[in-house]
């Protein structure tokens, strides 16, 4: 063993042609799916948490949803994707897995989508437009049970979270400003215990406190 990447690769579950094909598709068409370190860590956290129902915002081609469903045999996943092409791809890939009957993909903008009011989730995974995280969080956190956990991907944005705004490219500035504000807001949130993992592109973990 000569590198961290090699160790990660060796520790993954057995080879999966479908997983390989999705990773290749993501490389070929520049779809920003989680990297190996990020997805394996998220799967580990979820195996410890054992959620029965998980809501994902931002399915892309269904890679993380499928990885999670295959890692947790009891979980049911609801996932939302607004992009036409990616939604179609997600459905087509998921259809090919045995886990397909535990994943529901909705084709919608998550900021406009309406869940039925009695739906509840043990886990929420936010991985969509990075400038909108606070809006996703505020809209969907009421559906998370007390004790439930909200995971957010790409918190570091390849280091841009820690870069002064004036050094960020102009067209990305609003997004990064929003992300910085979201981090401050989340840390100050009184109903959640919050921590950050320096894995993948940065993962935030916020656990909803039980009501006293």
| Residue from the set 41, 43, 53, 58 that interacts with ligand SAH by CB under 6 A | 58
CB of 19 to ligand SAH, least distance (A): 11
CB of 81 to Mg ion, least distance (A): 13
Nearest residue to 186 via CA among 133, 144, 147, 115: 133
| Residue from the set 40, 81, 122, 127 that interacts with Mg ion by CB under 5 A | 127
**For the CA atoms of 100, 101, 107, 113, what is the dihedral angle to 10 degrees?**
-140
64 binds Mg ion (CB under 5 A): no
| Residue from the set 82, 89, 102, 208 that interacts with ligand SAH by CB under 6 A | 82
| Residue from the set 19, 33, 49, 149 that interacts with ligand SAH by CB under 6 A | 33
Q: How many residues does the chain have?
A: 212
Our CB check for ligand SAH shows the closer of 32 and 146 to be 32
Q: Quote the strand ranges of 24-178, DSSP E.
A: 53-57, 76-81, 103-107, 121-126, 144-152
152 binds ligand SAH (CB under 6 A): no
* Number of alpha carbons in the 13 Å side-chain half-sphere of residue 21: 12
Query: Which tokens is 158 given?
Result: 């390849």
| Residue from the set 129, 175, 197, 199 that interacts with ligand SAH by CB under 6 A | 129
Burial of residue 36 (number of CB atoms within 10 Å: 0-12, 13-18, 19+): middle
CB of 153 to Mg ion, least distance (A): 4
Query: Which residues in this chain contact ligand SAH in the complex, by CB under 6 A?
Result: 32-34, 58, 60, 63-64, 80-83, 86, 109-111, 127-129
């Amino acid at each position: 063993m000569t590198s961290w990447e090699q160790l990660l690769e060796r520790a993954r579950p057995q080879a999966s042609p479908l997983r390989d094909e999705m990773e290749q598709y993501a490389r070929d068409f520049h779809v920003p799916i989680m990297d190996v370190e990020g997805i394996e860590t998220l799967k580990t956290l979820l195996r410890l948490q054992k959620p029965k129902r998980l809501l994902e915002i931002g399915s892309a081609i269904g890679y993380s949803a499928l990885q999670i469903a295959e890692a947790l045999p009891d979980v049911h996943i609801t996932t939302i994707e607004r992009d036409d092409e990616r939604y179609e791809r997600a459905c087509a890939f998921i259809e090919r897995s045995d886990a397909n009957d535990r994943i529901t993909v909705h084709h919608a903008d998550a900021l406009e989508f309406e869940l039925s009011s009695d739906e509840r989730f043990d886990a929420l995974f936010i991985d969509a437009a990075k400038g909108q995280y606070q809006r996703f969080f505020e809209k969907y956190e009421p559906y998370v049970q007390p004790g439930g956990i909200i995971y957010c991907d790409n918190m570091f944005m390849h280091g841009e979270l820690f870069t002064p705004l004036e050094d960020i490219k102009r067209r990305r500035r609003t997004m990064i400003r929003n992300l910085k504000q979201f981090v401050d807001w989340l840390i100050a949130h009184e109903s959640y215990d919050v921590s950050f993992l320096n894995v993948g592109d940065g993962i935030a973990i916020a656990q909803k406190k039980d009501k006293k």
